[in-house]
């Protein structure tokens, strides 16, 4: 029998408390059959991905229009990777994603972006019914995070979803790339994990001897909980909860390793994408061990940030390291999900600040509006979903040379959330502007 240490006691106590809280509520999570675990992994392509050089028309006339528009930035037609059944090809460095597409495990969501409501070219040109601060990195990224272009939100769609689904696990929303607006909810921010999780005492224990240097700190926190000042008490209570969580979660990644080799970035700012996805894979694996993760989460949303997509001066040419590294990292993650037998229960999807301008600026592309998104996993309905825009000079689908989205952020994310297990009432709260669009489900996820 395993010894009941303070750490194990707290871990099992938190699991029990979460179970009791869930039992008192009407469940909104639909049964998935067998292992009911499901996870969404959000990969932010920070900076604004030029998806029009990641998915390119291959038909003779369509490619000629694309080539005429993009000039020396255009990818050669002979280099494009074929997508069976479609007159479109992938960037030549997207070999892993091409394989997944052929295996029925990759969907492309065409021309999606922030919308107040469906908007025509004429309305957009007149400045009617368009999101505030178009083409601004921070503002447009926030609209993806909050999933509401009609009103300013202080919480993100994933944070609101956690509150609605009444999941008390602190690891429901988990970020491996710092705090983010998407996962901020009524109860606070997401759990941030940067690597192995160590209990509080391990940080403060003197290496030579048994002296516990954390003891004075814990005493200070306990005194703070009795302080006459409300702000001091609130901080002390919050910190005490964090310390107990560290105690219960400490060591949950011990011995949890991936069987897949993940690629490392070259001159990448921030934590490399491969390293982030490898950590997510370990966290998912850890959650499959009963009682190992506080709250025993059956639903999890992960946030990953891939930097470097603001390509004013670095076009996504045929040798693009940026595209190559994304492809290899996503391919490795999918390989690991297969190794864990969780490929049908984990869905990975991309978001980005915005698309890019259709025309080149001389050395790259500028800020745009609509763009394509990528969804990967065994539960996707593979193919290109939505209406592909005309990529040509004076395109009827563009405002000047910026694509006008034909699918909204709300429609895209609500479709993912429905597969994740959210009920329709939950979705209406998480995506309050979804009613502005006639289609609630874009059909790129399987029903079961």
Question: What is d(CA 28, CA 249) in angstroms, rounded to the nearest whole number?
Answer: 26
pLDDT (0 to 100) of residue 13: 39
pLDDT (0 to 100) of residue 167: 83
pLDDT (0 to 100) of residue 49: 98
Question: What is d(CA 11, CA 356) in angstroms, rounded to the nearest whole number?
Answer: 47
pLDDT level of residue 23 (50, 70, 90 thresholds): very low
pLDDT (0 to 100) of residue 213: 65
What digits encode the pLDDT tens for the residues 139-174? 999 999 999 999 999 999 999 999 999 888 999 999
pLDDT level of residue 18 (50, 70, 90 thresholds): very low
If one compares 164 and 18, the residue with the highest pLDDT of the two is 164
If one compares 53 and 213, the residue with the highest pLDDT of the two is 53
pLDDT level of residue 5 (50, 70, 90 thresholds): very low
Question: What is d(CA 106, CA 333) in angstroms, rounded to the nearest whole number?
Answer: 13
Of 197, 200, 178, 205, nearest to 292 by C-alpha is 197
pLDDT (0 to 100) of residue 22: 28
What digits encode the pLDDT tens for the residues 238-261? 888 877 787 788 889 999 999 999
* Mean pLDDT estimate for the chain: 89
Neighbour count for residue 150 (Cβ, 10 Å): 17
pLDDT (0 to 100) of residue 200: 65
What digits encode the pLDDT tens for the residues 373-432? 999 999 999 999 999 999 999 999 999 999 999 999 999 999 999 999 999 999 999 999
pLDDT level of residue 206 (50, 70, 90 thresholds): very low
Question: What is d(CA 434, CA 147) in angstroms, rounded to the nearest whole number?
Answer: 9
The residue length of the chain stands at: 448
What digits encode the pLDDT tens for the residues 341-351? 999 999 999 99
Name the phi and psi angles at 319, rounded to 5.
-105, 20
Is 298 a residue whose pLDDT tops 50? Answer: yes
What digits encode the pLDDT tens for the residues 76-126? 999 999 999 999 999 999 999 999 999 999 999 999 999 999 999 999 999
pLDDT (0 to 100) of residue 6: 41
As a whole-number percent, the residues of the chain with pLDDT over 90 amount to 77
Beta strands in 71-201, from DSSP E residues, in sequence order = 81-82, 88-90, 106-113, 173-175, 191-192
Give the range among 209-213, 368-372, 402-406 with minimum mean pLDDT.
209-213
Within 8 A by CB and 6+ apart from 27, the residues are none
DSSP 3-state of 8: helix
| Contact (CB, 8 A) for 95 and 327 | yes
User: So where are the chain's domains?
Assistant: 6-197+261-436, 198-249
Q: Parallel, antiparallel, or unpaired: how do β-strands 383-385 and 106-113 relate?
A: parallel
Q: Does domain 6-197+261-436 have CATH number 3.40.720?
A: yes
pLDDT (0 to 100) of residue 30: 31
What digits encode the pLDDT tens for the residues 112-139? 999 999 999 999 999 999 999 999 999 9
Q: Two tokens at 65?
A: 């229009």
Is 221 a residue whose pLDDT tops 90? Answer: no
pLDDT level of residue 270 (50, 70, 90 thresholds): confident
Is 273 a residue whose pLDDT tops 80? Answer: yes
| Contact (CB, 8 A) for 331 and 281 | no
pLDDT (0 to 100) of residue 267: 66
């Amino acid at each position: 029998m395993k010894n009941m240490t303070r750490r194990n006691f707290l871990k099992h106590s938190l699991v029990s408390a979460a179970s009791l809280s869930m039992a008192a509520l009407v469940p909104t999570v639909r049964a998935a059959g067998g292992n009911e675990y499901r996870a969404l992994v959000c990969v932010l392509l920070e900076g604004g991905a030029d998806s029009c050089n990641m998915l390119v028309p291959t038909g003779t006339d369509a490619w000629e229009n694309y080539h005429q528009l993009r000039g020396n930035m255009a990818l050669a037609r002979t280099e494009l990777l074929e997508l069976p059944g479609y007159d479109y090809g992938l960037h030549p460095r997207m070999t892993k994603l091409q394989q997944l597409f052929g295996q029925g495990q990759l969907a492309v969501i065409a021309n999606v972006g922030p919308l107040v409501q469906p908007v025509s070219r004429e309305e957009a040109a007149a400045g009617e019914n368009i999101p505030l601060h178009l083409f601004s990195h921070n503002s447009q990224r926030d609209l993806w995070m909050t999933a509401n272009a009609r009103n300013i939100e202080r919480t993100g769609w994933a944070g609101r979803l956690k509150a609605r689904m009444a999941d008390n696990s602190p690891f429901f929303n988990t970020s491996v790339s710092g705090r983010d607006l998407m996962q901020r909810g009524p109860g606070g921010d997401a759990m941030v994990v940067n690597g192995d999780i160590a209990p509080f005492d391990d940080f403060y224990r003197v290496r030579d001897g048994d002296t516990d240097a954390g003891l004075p700190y814990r005493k200070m926190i306990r005194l703070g909980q009795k302080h006459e000042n409300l702000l001091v008490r609130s901080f002390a209570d919050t910190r005490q909860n964090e310390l107990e969580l560290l105690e219960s979660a400490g060591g949950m990644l011990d011995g949890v390793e991936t069987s897949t080799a993940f690629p490392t970035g070259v001159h990448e700012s921030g934590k490399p994408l491969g390293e982030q996805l490898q950590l997510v894979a370990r966290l998912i694996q850890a959650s499959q061990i009963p009682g190992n993760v506080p709250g025993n989460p059956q639903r999890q949303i992960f946030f990953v940030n891939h930097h470097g997509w603001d390509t004013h001066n670095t076009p996504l040419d045929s040798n693009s390291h940026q595209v190559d590294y994304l492809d290899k990292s996503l391919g490795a993650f999918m390989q690991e999900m297969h190794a864990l037998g969780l490929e049908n229960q984990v869905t990975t999807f991309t978001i980005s600040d915005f698309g890019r301008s259709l025309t080149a600026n001389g050395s790259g592309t500028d800020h745009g509006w609509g763009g394509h998104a990528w969804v990967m996993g065994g539960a996707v309905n593979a193919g290109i979903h939505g209406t592909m825009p005309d990529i040509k000079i004076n395109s009827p689908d563009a405002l000047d040379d910026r694509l006008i989205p034909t699918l909204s952020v709300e429609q895209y994310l609500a479709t993912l959330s429905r597969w994740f297990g959210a009920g329709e009432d939950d979705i209406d709260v998480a995506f309050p502007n979804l009613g502005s669009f006639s289609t609630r489900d874009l059909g790129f996820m399987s029903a079961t």
